[in-house]
Structure 1
Amino acid sequence: MIQYQDKNLTVFQSALYKTTTVVIHTEEAIIMTDPNWLPEEVQEIRNYISQHIGNKKLYIIYTHSDFDHIIGASAFPEAYVIASVEFSINEHKKEIMKQIEEFDQKYYLYRNYTPSYPIVDYQVVNDGETLQIGEVTLHFYKSPGHTADGIFTVVEPYGIFLSGDYLSDVEFPFIFSGYRDYVHTINKAYEIYQTYNINYHVPGHGTTTGDKEEMARRVEVSRCYLEQLSRGNEQLEEFCKKEYDFFEGMKDIHESNKEKVD
């Protein structure tokens, strides 16, 4: 499952939707994101953590509340959970858990844990707030648009940018909570690149990159998509077919995005 590994950073990738789980090794802790998808994949991540945790504390950052990103949460009961306050008070928790149940039912999947919605220990309330974990500083930024409860995280001094379901190289913008919020969040991502020396960008779906030009390209491609979507450009679908290998499988989301523009 390991898609990328370098120094303090290991990135696992699921066979489903190229969904990522980040593991960051620090002197005092291991920091993860979004353990997922299939039972065997969650177990592989669990085994990796068990082998490396030692006396360190485990932290999990949930980038947002889509069911595929929290499906493995209960496999890590010892974790100190970090997420946005919006994630914590999400009024759709029951619906999200029902999606997990329906997924496992549909594909005849047994798990060696009972899925549950994560209980948040540290709630990110304000844009730009920080959390110190030993030598590492986590900088949090609200990222609504895909969902209402997303957060970006910048991990210093390593220069790791965890963007959740934004800036993917395999998905165009999926707008589930608001078009204007999404535009603002992409602008915020641009500002993050201007503020920090980002060495690694890890999207929630897709490929980890340390290439600065590729990082900038992902921002501009998202901006281009959002701008052309608002203009009703009929050529946008052709652009997406060339840019995204799996566009045909996401076409219904593109159609739904058109209705989100305001």
Structure 2
Amino acid sequence: MIIYQNEHTTVFQSALYQTTSTVVLTKEMVLIVDPNWLPNEVDEIRSYVDSVKGDRDLYLLFTHGDFDHIIGYKAFPGAKTIGSYELSCHPKKDYKISLIQEFDRKHYIHRKYPVEFPVLDIIISKDAEELRIGDTLLTFYKSPGHTPDGLFTIIEPLGIWITGDYLSDFELPFIYHSARAYKETMNTASQILDQHNIELQIPGHGQVTIDTAEMKRRLDMSSDHLERLINAVIAKDESAIAALGDEHAFKSSFTEECHKENIRIIAQEYSI
């Protein structure tokens, strides 16, 4: 369903994990970000894109390679695909596709399009790399930590910041890659807020915001939780570690496993 819309931007949200998909319209292009999850939800996004595309070029941006974010890739044939270099050489492409296939089999889901790992037309190799499409400037910042292949994207002059699986209004850090890299990505996020005129922040899960103070709150929430968890793991403070696990919203076996993975990676990186 659509949870936010203005002249240039439409944000869809799945019933699953509050996962967002974004469509940005400019004079020259339609940019689709992470189309997902369920077939009827992907169909809704595709129908909207078909209704507004006209003679614009179609682009498809992936914030990272988690299976929920690439699941709608082949629903948009002909789109020029954009992602990080790390996504293009992802070491577990077949595994990510197997997760989609298992999800679909488990829930008796049939899709009208093939399930494949994205093949990229435009590969972002450098930090702060720019891509100009007509009057629109896209600036990409590497955002590893959650995964190694993450990208922040700034769309100017619209002031849109697409943050992928960072800076949710409720979701705390899930570290599948590196705690140290996650901290660096939070530093990058802080610099983006200082250096760019951000008018709309769109996370991969949760609600969008147009409030700069809320963007800073989200940044502080993630940074503070991560720092306290690192300190607790280093100190081997089991009560503090358990309390930090209880801070996750929608507490479940899923968040518990994510918390355990956070602890494992922190312990490994800080040689605990």
Q: Answer yes or no: same fold by TM over 0.5.
A: yes
Report which stretch shifted further, 181-190 or 231-240: 231-240
Instruction: Name the SS of the counterpart of 1:162 in structure 2.
Output: strand
Deviation at 1:238, TM superposition (A): 4.0
Q: Does structure 1 retain, via aligned residues, the 8 Å contact 2:37–2:68?
A: yes
Say if 2:247 is the partner of 1:247. Answer: no
Partner of 1:157: 157
Number of residue pairs the alignment of both structures matches = 261
Partner of 1:200: 200
What does the per-residue CA deviation read over 1:20-71, in whole Å, with 9 as the maximum and x for residues that have no partner? 0011110011111100000110011010001110100111110000000000
Deviation at 1:235, TM superposition (A): 3.9
Instruction: Name the SS of the counterpart of 1:64 in structure 2.
Output: coil
What does the per-residue CA deviation read over 1:76-100, in whole Å, with 9 as the maximum and x for residues that have no partner? 0111000001101112101111111
Partner of 1:222: 222
Deviation at 1:240, TM superposition (A): 5.9
Instruction: Name the SS of the counterpart of 1:15 in structure 2.
Output: coil
What does the per-residue CA deviation read over 1:195-241, in whole Å, with 9 as the maximum and x for residues that have no partner? 00100000001100001110000000011011001111634654664
Partner of 1:173: 173
Instruction: Name the SS of the counterpart of 1:247 in structure 2.
Output: coil
Distance 2:24 2:98 in 1: 30
Deviation at 1:251, TM superposition (A): 1.8
TM-score using structure 2 length: 0.93
Instruction: Name the SS of the counterpart of 1:171 in structure 2.
Output: coil
Q: Does structure 1 retain, via aligned residues, the 8 Å contact 2:4–2:11?
A: yes
Distance 1:174 1:101 in 2: 23
Q: Does structure 2 retain, via aligned residues, the 8 Å contact 1:170–1:246?
A: no
- Percent of matched pairs sharing the same residue: 45
Distance 2:215 2:66 in 1: 24
Q: Does structure 1 retain, via aligned residues, the 8 Å contact 2:35–2:45?
A: yes
Deviation at 1:245, TM superposition (A): 3.3
Which runs of 5 or more structure 1 residues have no equivalent in the other structure?
Answer: none
Instruction: Name the SS of the counterpart of 1:181 in structure 2.
Output: helix
Partner of 1:15: 15
Instruction: Name the SS of the counterpart of 1:127 in structure 2.
Output: coil
The one-letter code of the counterpart of 2:261 is S
TM-score using structure 1 length: 0.96
* Aligned CA-pair RMSD: 1.3
Partner of 1:31: 31
Distance 1:167 1:237 in 2: 22
Distance 1:125 1:173 in 2: 25
The one-letter code of the counterpart of 2:128 is G
Partner of 1:256: 261
Distance 2:242 2:11 in 1: 31
